[in-house]
Amino acid sequence: MVLKVLIFTKRLPSLTPAEYKDYYENHHMPLIRRISGDTAFLSHTRNYIPRNSDTNTAQLIMGEKDLDFDCVTEVIYRDLQHLHLQMATIGTDENTRLREEDEDKFIERSSVRIVMVEGCGDSAATLNG
């Protein structure tokens, strides 16, 4: 069974949501792929929170407070060993320096939260079956 990790990140206040997304997609992800090499995740899906252009708050479907993050990233690994292997690869002194220098350009690093999750759920097929 695969292992799923969620990463919550917040953009620097000096960046617009579009600038944040552009930097993440076109600068940070190529770096992460390069320093991960053969140990890279199975998938890495970034989910950006839409923001109201007038108030810069999240476009919430339910709830009254704004969110403390701009992106929820879903990362899939084969298993815990695969996660540890990638963490060891990107955690070398040089790769840590490269990653942190890059993150400082677009992420409030103190806001980052990373958690493993266990998925449960239904699909239309199971709900209608």
Domain boundaries defined on the chain:
3-119
Q: How far apart are the first and last CA of the chain?
A: 24
> How many residues appear in the chain?
129
Which CATH number applies to 3-119? 3.30.70.100
Higher pLDDT, 122 or 18: 18
User: Is the predicted pLDDT of residue 126 greater than 70, yes or no?
Assistant: no
**pLDDT tens track for 46-100:** 999 988 777 677 776 677 777 789 999 999 999 999 999 999 999 999 999 999 9
Give 1's contacts (C-beta < 8 A, 6+ positions apart).
79
Read off the pLDDT of residues 7-52 as tens digits, 9 standing for 90 and up.
999 999 999 999 999 999 999 999 999 999 999 999 999 999 988 7
CA 50 – CA 99 distance, rounded (Å): 26
Compute the distance between CA of residue 112 and CA of residue 30 in angstroms, rounded to an integer: 19
Closest C-alpha to 114, from 32, 6, 3, 2:
6
